[in-house]
Amino acid sequence: MYSLHIFDPEANRIQRSIRAHFHDLFIIDTNPPIQPKTLIHPDTIYMINMQQGGLELAMQIDQPATILLGETLNDAIEAYQAKHCFFIYRSLLDQYLIDGISKALACLEQFRTHLPILHKNGYELISLASITYLERSGRMTYIHTSSQCFETYQKLANLQPYLSSSFVQCHHSFIVHSCYIASFQRTQIKLTDGTTLPISRSYAKTTKDSLHALIHI
């Protein structure tokens, strides 16, 4: 189930309008706001009033499935400082609310099959099916696919919520896609392309249990 966090003084009225059209959406009136790090989740839509620090909050949450509410043309321009999928003038909220929620839901659906990453050239969605493994080295994370490698400063812990259950963390620096595993032993995993990944002692049991569950042993 998808959820919606609303940061707006008229959250109750907005909730009533949304519930009339989206019965399965779990709506949360987040007032006063809580810390952004406790909010971020890939199955969540954020609707944020840009006034009183709302833009800064949106920039901290940094999620594409965000709807920004503004009052002025300047708000519409400043909205581009934060990641979002829809901007609505509050005076036109009733007219465009349903369109905004629909766009955000479509954005979340895309995340079910793709991994969103940030890199030096901007933002990109990588098909989960193409990812063989993720590797953290130094300050960078490398997303290896069947055809190329992507780089991002995002940590494995920040990317993991977007991955499906077929991804298994076998080491503090590696997450492997089980669909590409050719064989695994106590201390290492071998992929179909010949790549070998280590299984650390701290992840040995969870790796074994996860892989056994995936192949129904």
What are all long-range contacts of 8-14, with beta carbons under 8 Å and residues at least 24 apart?
A: 8/47, 8/48, 8/49, 8/69, 9/49, 14/47, 14/93, 14/97
Per-residue pLDDT of the chain (217 residues; tens, 9 = 90+): 788 999 998 888 999 899 888 887 888 766 555 555 444 566 789 999 998 789 999 988 888 889 999 999 999 999 999 889 999 999 999 999 999 999 999 888 777 788 988 877 777 889 999 999 999 999 999 999 989 999 999 999 999 988 888 899 999 999 999 999 988 888 999 999 999 999 999 999 999 888 887 765 4
**pLDDT for the residue numbered 217:** 42
**What is the distance between the alpha carbons of residues 177 and 166, in angstroms, rounded to a whole number?**
6
3-state secondary structure 184-196: ECCCEEEECCCCE
The model carries a pTM of 0.60
Pairing of the two strands 44-49 and 66-70? parallel
Pairing of the two strands 66-70 and 86-89? parallel
Q: How many residues does the chain have?
A: 217
**pLDDT for the residue numbered 38:** 47
Helical H segments across 20-72, by residue range: 36-39, 54-61
What structural domains does the chain harbor?
3-112 (3.40.50.2300), 115-214 (2.40.50.1020)
